[in-house]
Structure 1
Amino acid sequence: MDQGEVVEHVAIRAGSAGRPIVVGISGFCGSGMSTLARRIVEALPGAVRMRGDDFLDPARSHLRSADWDGVERQRLVSSVLEPFRGQQPGEFRRYGWAVGALGAPEPVPRAEILVVDLIGLFHPEALPSLDVTVWCDVELDVAVSRGMARDRELGRRHEALWTDVWTPNERDFAQRFMPREHAETLYASSY
């Protein structure tokens, strides 16, 4: 699907759900997840975005793991996704990268659609809490090249993390959990 088709698919699902829905966007690092999430929110009134980076553990996300252990899926599910889907009040805390700690409690947003973009999202801990699943369908080597270029443009020197940690984590996660197969929608990201 292209971006317009993804937006239309989300709008149809939201219109027929009868309750707020969660749209999970995942893919390899650098595949265009955040860009797609922002565009869906811009295109659909009543949609809000939850940045996946707010649910990464900064130490564990920089370590090798076969299941993206640094992705705090359980915290995301219990503090945001389930209260949102159940239209219940709740609070969550974003990870503040600038201060190196969880931030102050914030209320769970109220909206018709919550869009979450996150690596390692299509995992058994989180899949039951996602109403729509979109995979940014980009080959790993292409996604890594894009991500590394983006980081260089932003002045971030993460080459060793990309080659020694993030790319192997992506390969292991894809082999173990087959996230692409859990997506109901494949988005052909051109970034």
Structure 2
Amino acid sequence: MDLTPVLALVERRRREAGRPVVVGVSGHGGSGKSTLARALVEALPDAVRLRGDDFLDPARVHRRSADWDGVERDRLATEVLRPFRDGTPGEFRRYAWDLGRLRDPEPVPRADVLVVDLIGLFHPDVLALLDVTVWCDVDPEVALRRGMARDRAAGNDHDRVWTQVWGPNERDFDAAFAPREVADVRVPNP
């Protein structure tokens, strides 16, 4: 995976902004968003990652929706993205999947770069808060198969949810918001 174009753009945006910058990594479920986000954090000085899964509503993310309604974009924007970019103190709460509730508040991280990886991230509600947008460019059917295989390997049989909810949600979101087209950089992950 060649990160050179992404790293160059992040450095340019850091210089231009004169403040901390947010890198949004999105793509279909199973496209490699988390892997790409971790690689970016390793390659960028003073960068931290925020898992997008911490900003999913467990009930809504398992329902059909044309705009990935289960992604809590407002909470992400209000609690993390705005304070991080402004360099102001703030607190946010991650969703604790093991506990079935939000965790106790923790401080918004301080760094030069925040990398957020999340499905449905390139939505008008948060797009203006992302300084760099990176799309994991994988064929949707390949991503779907990878996601299902990953879940099965982890002992989770989510095949029905992948085929009846998440796959259709991805297609609807693509049709409504063209996330691949709004990305600054597309990183292939064949």
Question: Is the structural similarity TM-score above 0.5?
Answer: yes
Equivalent position of 1:180 in the other structure: 180
Equivalent position of 2:189 in the other structure: 189
Give the Cα–Cα distance (whole angstroms) in 1 for the partners of residues 166 and 27 of structure 2.
12
Give the Cα–Cα distance (whole angstroms) in 1 for the partners of residues 149 and 2 of structure 2.
23
SS for the counterpart of 2:115 is strand
After TM superposition, give the deviation of residue 141 of structure 1 in Å.
0.3
Q: Which runs of 5+ in 2 are unaligned?
A: none
- 1:85-124 matches, within 5 Å, as 85-124=85-124
Deviations 1:26-59 (A, max 9, x none): 0000011100000000111200000000000000
Tell which deviates more after alignment, 7-16 or 84-93: 7-16
After TM superposition, give the deviation of residue 4 of structure 1 in Å.
3.3
Give the Cα–Cα distance (whole angstroms) in 2 for the partners of residues 34 and 103 of structure 1.
21
After TM superposition, give the deviation of residue 17 of structure 1 in Å.
2.5
- 1:1-40 matches, within 5 Å, as 2-40=2-40
RMSD between aligned residues? 1.2
SS for the counterpart of 1:39 is helix
Deviations 1:67-87 (A, max 9, x none): 000000000000000000000
Give the Cα–Cα distance (whole angstroms) in 2 for the partners of residues 131 and 22 of structure 1.
5
Give the Cα–Cα distance (whole angstroms) in 1 for the partners of residues 51 and 79 of structure 2.
14
Mapped pair 1:167 → 2:154:
no
After TM superposition, give the deviation of residue 129 of structure 1 in Å.
0.5
Mapped pair 1:145 → 2:154:
no
The amino acid that maps onto 1:135 is W
Give the Cα–Cα distance (whole angstroms) in 2 for the partners of residues 24 and 126 of structure 1.
10
Q: Which runs of 5+ in 1 are unaligned?
A: none
Give the Cα–Cα distance (whole angstroms) in 2 for the partners of residues 145 and 9 of structure 1.
31
After TM superposition, give the deviation of residue 149 of structure 1 in Å.
1.1
CA contact (8 A) 1:2 1:189 kept: no
After TM superposition, give the deviation of residue 156 of structure 1 in Å.
1.0
Deviations 1:136-176 (A, max 9, x none): 11110011011111111111110000001000000000001
The amino acid that maps onto 1:93 is R
Count of aligned pairs between the two proteins:
190
After TM superposition, give the deviation of residue 14 of structure 1 in Å.
2.2
The amino acid that maps onto 1:112 is D
Deviations 1:1-20 (A, max 9, x none): 82233233323322442110
Give the Cα–Cα distance (whole angstroms) in 1 for the partners of residues 155 and 10 of structure 2.
35
Tell which deviates more after alignment, 13-22 or 167-176: 13-22
**Runs of 4 or more above 4 Å deviation:** none
SS for the counterpart of 1:122 is coil
Q: Structure 2 length as normaliser, TM-score? A: 0.97
Mapped pair 1:72 → 2:83:
no
Deviations 1:80-129 (A, max 9, x none): 00000000000000000000000000000000000000000000101010
SS for the counterpart of 1:40 is helix
Give the Cα–Cα distance (whole angstroms) in 1 for the partners of residues 147 and 175 of structure 2.
21
The amino acid that maps onto 1:38 is R
